[in-house]
Amino acid sequence: MITYIYWFTVLAMAFGIIYLIGFKNEEWKIASIAAAVVLLAGALAYYFHFQQVFVKRYGGVMTIHVPQGEIHIAATWKDDNLWIENYDPKTNTCYFREYSRGNLLQGKVVIKDCNPLMPHDTAPVIPAR
């Protein structure tokens, strides 16, 4: 819902500029450039800042695809960045990937010989008498 309000506000500002500058003052070139700048700034602000903030704090929607051949295990938030854990059964490796704002700084942690899907028997084996 918050995402719809955000985009409604950005579009209202762009159309308001077109109405005030273009229609009222007959400056269509300036109005179209200003509206394009508002739309571009709104899109960049959403992509690089607001998307994960909306999802985490206000219940927005975000889609992430699991890479081919991997199995999703867990997801968690660290500050405003989303960390996803996936398992690759072919290489027996776990991957923690960070999805930061705008995907500019993405961390990645690789755990070799992870094998999280197999039961681990840690109890010592006692031979029968």
pLDDT at 39: 96
Q: How many CB atoms lie within 10 A of CB 87?
A: 20
- The owner of tokens 């968690």 is 76
| Domain ranges for the chain | 2-58, 71-112
Tens-digit pLDDT profile for residues 21-55:
888 888 889 999 999 999 999 999 988 888 888 88
DSSP 120: -
The amino acid present at 22, given as its one-letter code, is G
Burial of 88 (0-12, 13-18, 19+ CB in 10 A): middle
* 92 three-class SS: coil
pLDDT at 1 over 90: no
DSSP 118: S
pLDDT at 102: 65
What's the average model confidence in pLDDT over 55-75? 85
Tens-digit pLDDT profile for residues 71-118:
899 998 888 788 899 999 888 889 988 887 666 667 888 889 887 766
pLDDT at 121 over 60: no
